[in-house]
């Protein structure tokens, strides 16, 4: 926005959540170069405490705005193209969306014969969100545009395997801890989801790498980074 550009020009320091977002900012506002500091999003999520009697997580979960930017139509098509094991799982879209776009997603699912497997929650509470995360066999974010990808970080912190797009910001946040697929690659997305759900070795690897990677984005680390920036501004 014009206000954002003006603010970036006048600010002493500009914060960006990823280096990828910082690079885009410099392209839009060259005067911001040299003033940008990386202050990423953070999470305080921890792995679920599961018992042997708990049912195995079986849902494919997307968290975020139900929109074209998030690649939701691609996800529904990939779900429909997947093997029988993938289609036997629920596809859950968690978040609000424009009424017309949500209706279009339902039409696509119906046309492809997977409407019965699709759940669209709409806006929900934090406690309901945690219920869906707990049921997730995999969390997916097939975005076409993304500045950070907080749901992927949250999933990694909770020990949930993830599949996401090969966007610069997501590459930066996941750093090898997620299965990445080019945006719009529906066949590749279907294959990645099938493997992330059904391959025990891959699942263990994604969970382990994700837990380690998420430690770089804790609330405590965010506070430390913020204090460093404040001290720089104050000259202390």
Q: Check pLDDT > 70 for residue 1.
A: no
Q: Quick check: 161 pLDDT over 80?
A: yes
pLDDT digits (tens, 9 = 90+) for 179-235: 999 999 999 999 999 999 999 999 999 999 999 999 999 999 999 999 999 999 898
Q: Where are the domains of the chain?
A: 2-42+218-234, 59-216
Query: What's the token pair of residue 97?
Result: 């969306």
Instruction: Note the pTM of the prediction, 2 decimals.
Output: 0.93
Contacts for 31-40: CB closer than 8 Å, 24+ residues apart = 32/8, 35/8, 35/11, 37/13, 37/225, 37/229, 37/232, 38/225, 39/15, 39/222, 39/225, 39/226, 39/229, 40/148, 40/173, 40/217, 40/222, 40/225
CA end-to-end span of the chain, whole Å? 33
Contact 114, 76 (CB under 8 A): yes
What average pLDDT does the segment 165-179 reach?
98
CATH of domain 59-216: 3.40.50.2000
pLDDT in tens, 40-66: 999 999 998 887 777 889 999 999 999
d(CA 181, CA 8): 33
Residue 31 has pLDDT above 90, yes or no: no
């Amino acid at each position: 926005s014009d206000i954002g550009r003006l603010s970036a020009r006048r600010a002493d320091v500009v914060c960006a959540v990823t280096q990828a977002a910082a690079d885009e900012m410099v392209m839009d506002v060259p005067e911001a170069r040299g003033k940008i500091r990386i202050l990423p999003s953070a999470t305080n999520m921890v792995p679920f405490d599961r018992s042997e009697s708990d049912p195995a997580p079986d849902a494919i979960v997307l968290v975020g705005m139900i929109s074209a930017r998030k690649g939701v139509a691609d996800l529904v098509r990939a779900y429909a193209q997947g093997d029988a094991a993938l289609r036997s799982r629920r596809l859950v879209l968690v978040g609000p969306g424009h009424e017309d776009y949500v209706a279009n997603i339902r039409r696509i699912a119906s046309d492809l014969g997977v409407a019965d497997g699709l759940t669209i929650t709409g806006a929900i509470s934090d406690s309901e969100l945690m219920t869906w995360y707990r049921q997730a066999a995999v969390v997916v974010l097939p975005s076409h545009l993304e500045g950070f990808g907080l749901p992927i970080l949250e999933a990694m912190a909770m020990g949930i395997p993830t599949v996401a797009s090969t966007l610069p910001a997501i590459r930066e946040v996941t750093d090898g801890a997620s299965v990445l697929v080019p945006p719009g690659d529906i066949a590749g997305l279907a294959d990645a989801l099938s493997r992330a759900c059904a391959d025990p070795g891959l699942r263990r690897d994604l969970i382990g790498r994700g837990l380690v990677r998420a430690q770089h984005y804790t609330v405590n680390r965010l506070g430390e980074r913020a204090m460093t920036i404040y001290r720089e501004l104050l000259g202390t």
